Structure 1
Amino acid sequence: MKKLWKKTAVILMIIPVLMMTILATPHTAQAAEDLGLHVDAAILINADTGQILYEQNAESPLGIASMSKMMTEYLLFEAIKEGKVSWDQEYTVTDYTYKVSQDRQLSNVPLRLGEKYTIRELYEALAIYSANAATIGIAETIAGSETKFVKMMNDKAAELGLEGYTFVNSTGLNNEHLHGMHPEGTGDKDENVMPAKSVALLAYRLLKDYPEVLDTTSVPTKIFREGTDDAIKMDNWNFMLPGFVFAYEGVDGLKTGTTEFAGHCFTGTAKRGDTRLIAVVMKAVDDKGNGSYKARFDAAKTLFEYGFNQFSEKEIFPAAHQFKGNKTVPVKKGKEKQVKIGVEKPFSMLVQTTDQDEYDVKFTKDETKLKDGSLEAPVKKGTVVGKADIVRKDGGPVYGFVQGGELGADVVTLEKVEKAGWFKLTLQAIGDFFSGVWNKSTDFVKGLF
């Protein structure tokens, strides 16, 4: 009895220790994703493919402040491309843009009432200095009014595949800062919102479709209307650019955002070697819970360090890669009874250096393309028969893309198979007939025993 009591006591002592050990040991995938960011949301993606490398609360709609101006930039570049607006086109300052431009509590370059400014001047003020009145001037030029432009913003967001967005103005300001002239149909307390994932997608499409935006977002300092009485020095609000206090190697964009509602936000992009990343941080604070410029750039730096230092390009499988046990599929009525299959093209992705050997590829047949598991001749080279999907050997998550891309490739026929002639088809039919008879006979005999 004493021995039984001792064993029970030992077990009771061990159980709490084991429970504490289990609870204290984080899951490998979760630990790898804990970057200690003090933000309401964040996301890091590969700017070339849209592959997500890290995300934190990236689906929740939050205030985006002046990051909204990336959509204004997109619509401007689109209008320029389509010939609806030109860089040299002049805009005449209205009462609305004049009043907003004189509000020195906002980021602005002062505009003179009735004065003409080129679209290029206004765009540079927008992209470098986040000038709000200049942004409204661009909106009015493109759509006739900011109200109509906001509709364009929301329509384009839908077209680009963004989710969870609401645009109420072209700038990202709270409407109450627009001196009672905010777009019709919106409230004076309204502000633009979007999830971090959609912000990253907007930045991704802006860089993909109009990479020339970086020619301006990378400018540290420029004089607005240099040589005139209205000259004003525009220091880029992106303090991660070269020469600034939070300079980070490779950064050349993209857009900051700050309001009381949105907090300190930033969409940054940096390139090192052949890799370009996009990082989004929303409502960044320090370890004491205070929002600041430093907090948002520190958070962005953490994301960039994570991406550049821990990830590298790896070819998961080469073109024509074949799968053990699935190197061929049967062919009916062909000169050959089998056709080789393999992946259509090579597949590479950014993977963590420590996880380089954790990825595998899984083959799934497309039963809609195969009749009873076979193809019927003639079979063209490159006929799709299934998919090759990337999986983790440990069963952990494999992040997808902000848009479009697939984690894998099509599996196709690697050669063609011509249809057999009538004589061979006849012989095949006879062979199939006797094969069927033999199988039935064999089954009958087996059934007797």
Structure 2
Amino acid sequence: MKRQVFQKCIAGAMAFVLFSSLFTGVDKAKAQADLNVNASGAILVDGKTGRVLYEKNADTPLGVASMTKMLDEYMLLDAIKKGKVSWDQTYTVDDLVYKISQDRSLSNVPLRQGGQYTVKQLYQAMAIYSADAAAIALAEIMGGSETNFVKMMNAEAQKLGLKHYKFVNSTGLNNADYKGMQPAEGGPTDENVMSTRDVAIVAFRLINDFPEVLKTSSIPTMTFAEGTKDRIVMKNWNWMLPSLVYGYKGMDGLKTGTTDFAGYCFTGTAERDGKRFITVVQHATDANGKGGYAARFNETRKMMDYAFSNYTKQQILPKHFQLKGNKTIPVVNGKSNQVEVYTKSALTILAQNGEKQDFKPVLVLDKSKVNSKGELIAPIKKGETVGYVTLQSKTGEKVSFLTPEGEKNAQVDVVATQDVGQANWFVRMMRGIGHFFSNTWHKIFH
């Protein structure tokens, strides 16, 4: 991440905090009615279910800069979990990593040529200080070379269900910053791109699959290489951590990113009162279209405030709910020609205040348990799941989630309330004869 504008932003940041503290009680009614985020791409999601609460241009590939490192973190934590890498494993600095680490126009901790560092040290430098050389070192550890690791990144992105992305390096830098030593996957001035939705998916999977990442991403300051001549104090680039200049209550992650191409980017996550949200802004600006550190944090704050003020966990459907018009389902070849059904449990999701009345429950029967006419096939046991109820808005749109797995948070199983045994062969035969004559009589007179 570029550092040239760091000093210029401190005074502005302090002024903003002082100014905003005077207006904490301002009515947010307009923002609640029409949330408008100044960014090329933005998204707000429920951090626990992945429900999408707000999005803007969420499927266009945009520059991501150092937010790339969230995928590095995911892959590293996964490799550690699987025993492929260990925290105390050491890495010996090669020429590329040394040269990148000495470029202080980038975000870096200085690494000694031929020096040895543990995976944990490199991970902390990458996660807290966005250290580019540390990211390359970790890529070499996991992939053997950064070029090979970039191939692994693109494969991992596909596994995670990302749709709009291309990775050309492990850092998020422009390949020009490699000074001719960039990985072979991209051109000399290429950069990584991802859609805002894809960035959110990576963040969502990262904090849910490996929640321990938040213990590191929430550290505001840490000293690297303590006790050596390379000692450096790493200050977290996430200035929204509670003790930093844009401090936000509950903020504990996740990753910033800045290049000329990507603009000012930030993936944030915060938790309060049992609610967690994830936000992403790419190429954030102020209302006048000017980018900056302030812009990405102000636009993030806008979404976070909106979410915490307007969303609560709500019971949309009670346990044993019966859908109007579908309290019973026709049964074929059963001792009874229908069966009563209801929801197995209550359906609760994070919803906007007053939103409950906008949901429409829709019954979806299990295709393996019905015939072509939509009739359940006997026998059926009491408590057997025969389908599910899902939620749509009254306009017909589905409730949107980041992942297919997340969609299950907007549905609840529907079960039979009693046994329906299979009718014996004689009853089935007589019903078949009755249906035959009924159909014949109908055709004669119509």
Shorter-chain TM-score bucket reads: 0.7 to 0.9
CA–CA separation in structure 2 for the residues paired with 1:135 and 1:166: 17
Aligned residue in 2 for 1:409: 412
| Partner residue in 1 for 2:171 | 171
Distance in 2 separating the partners of 1:43 and 1:277: 10
- Give 1:56's aligned amino acid: K
Say if 2:56 is the partner of 1:53: no
Q: In the aligned structure 2, how far is the partner of 1:443 from the partner of 1:79?
A: 68
Are 1:230 and 2:230 counterparts? yes
1:98 corresponds to? 98
> 1:122 offset after TM fit, Å?
0.5
Partner of 1:390: 391
* Residues 136-285 of structure 1: pairs in structure 2 closer than 5 A: 136-285=136-285
Pick the aligned partner of 2:421 from 418, 422, 426: 418
Q: How does 1:46-125 map to 2 (within 5 A)?
A: 46-125=46-125
Q: 1:439 to 1:113 in 2, by over 3 A?
A: closer
Match of 1:379 in 2: 380
- Determine if contact 1:99/1:179 at 8 Å carries over to the other structure: no
Q: Identify if the C-alpha distance between structure 1 residues 238 and 381 changes in structure 2 by more than 3 Å, giving closer, same or farther.
A: same
Name the aligned partner's letter for residue 416 of structure 1: D
Write out per-residue CA displacement over residues 100-155 of structure 1, whole angstroms, 9 at most, x where no aligned residue: 00001000000000010011000000010000001111111111110001001000
- Structure 2 CA distance for partners of 1:428 and 1:270, relative to 1, 3 Å: same
Partner of 2:9: none
Q: Which residue matches 1:16?
A: none
Shift of 1:351: 1.6
Q: Which residues of 2 match residues 19-30 of structure 1 at below 5 A?
A: none
CA shift for structure 1 position 427: 5.2
Moved more, 142-151 or 30-39: 30-39
Q: Which has the larger radius of gyration?
A: 1
Tell me the alpha carbon deviations over residues 319-366 of structure 1, each in whole angstroms, 9 at most, x when there is no partner.
Answer: 332122221123334333322222344322222113232222123556
Amino acid at match of 2:207: L
CA deviation map 1:77-111 (0-9, x unaligned):
11111111110010000000000000010000000
User: What is the CA–CA distance in structure 2 between the aligned matches of 1:207 and 1:219, rounded to whole Å?
Assistant: 15
Residues 38 and 435 of structure 1, relative CA distance in 2, 3 Å threshold: closer
Q: Structure 1 pair 440/93, CA: closer, same or farther in 2 (3 Å)?
A: closer
Change (3 A) 1:358 1:224: same
Identity %: 48
Deviation at 1:317, TM superposition (A): 1.0
Given the alignment of the two structures, is residue 348 of structure 1 paired with residue 348 of structure 2, yes or no? yes
**1:20-68 residue CA offsets vs partner (Å, 9 max, x unmatched):** xxxxxxxxxx996732321101001111111000000001100000000
Kindly indicate whether residue 313 of structure 2 is the aligned counterpart of residue 316 of structure 1: no
What SS does the corresponding residue of 2:163 show, helix, strand or coil? coil
| Cα distance change of structure 1 residues 163 and 367 upon mapping to structure 2, 3 Å threshold | closer
Residues 320 and 414 in structure 1, CA contact (< 8 A), matched pair in contact too = no
Q: Which residue identity does 2:309 align to in structure 1?
A: N
Structure 2 vs 1, CA of residues 377 and 86 (structure 1 numbering), >3 Å: closer, same or farther? same
Name 2:306's counterpart in structure 1: 306
1:24 aligned partner: none
Q: Is the 8 A contact 2:40 2:283 kept in 1?
A: yes
What amino acid maps onto 1:286 in structure 2?
D
Tell me, in whole angstroms, the C-alpha distance in 1 between the residues paired with 2:103 and 2:437. Answer: 92
**Does the 8 Å CA contact 1:53/1:399 hold for their aligned counterparts?**
no
User: Corresponding residue for 1:9?
Assistant: none
Q: Answer yes or no: is the 8 Å Cα contact 1:100–1:179 preserved in 2.
A: no
SS of residue paired to 1:37: coil
1:436 to partner: Cα distance: 6.7
- Closer, same or farther: CA 436–279 of 1 in aligned 2, 3 Å: same
- Structure 2: runs of 5 or more not aligned: 1-29
CA distance in 2, matches of 1:85, 1:182: 24
Q: Higher mean Cα deviation, 356-365 or 150-159?
A: 356-365
The amino acid that maps onto 2:403 is: Q
* AA at the equivalent of 1:114: G
2:354 is paired with a residue whose SS is helix
CA gap 1:302/1:332 in 2 versus in 1, 3 angstroms: same
Q: Which moved more, 1:48-57 or 1:315-324?
A: 315-324
Count of residue pairs brought into register by the alignment: 413
Q: Tell me: CA distance 1:325–1:231, structure 2 relative to 1, closer, same or farther (3 Å).
A: same
Q: In the alignment, what sits opposite 1:128?
A: 128
Classify the secondary structure of the residue corresponding to 1:110: coil
More moved, 345-354 vs 160-169: 345-354
Query: Partner residue of 1:359?
Result: 359
Which residue is equivalent to 1:14?
none
- Alpha-carbon distance in structure 1 between the residues aligned to 2:67 and 2:441: 75
For residues 433 and 81 of structure 1, do their structure 2 counterparts lie closer, same or farther at Cα, with a shift above 3 Å needed?
A: same
Structure 1 unaligned blocks of 5 or more: 1-29
Tell me how far 1:388 sits from its aligned partner: 2.2
Structure 2 CA distance, aligned partners of 1:96 and 1:434? 83
Quote the offset at 1:195 in angstroms: 0.4
**CA RMSD in angstroms, aligned pairs only:** 2.4
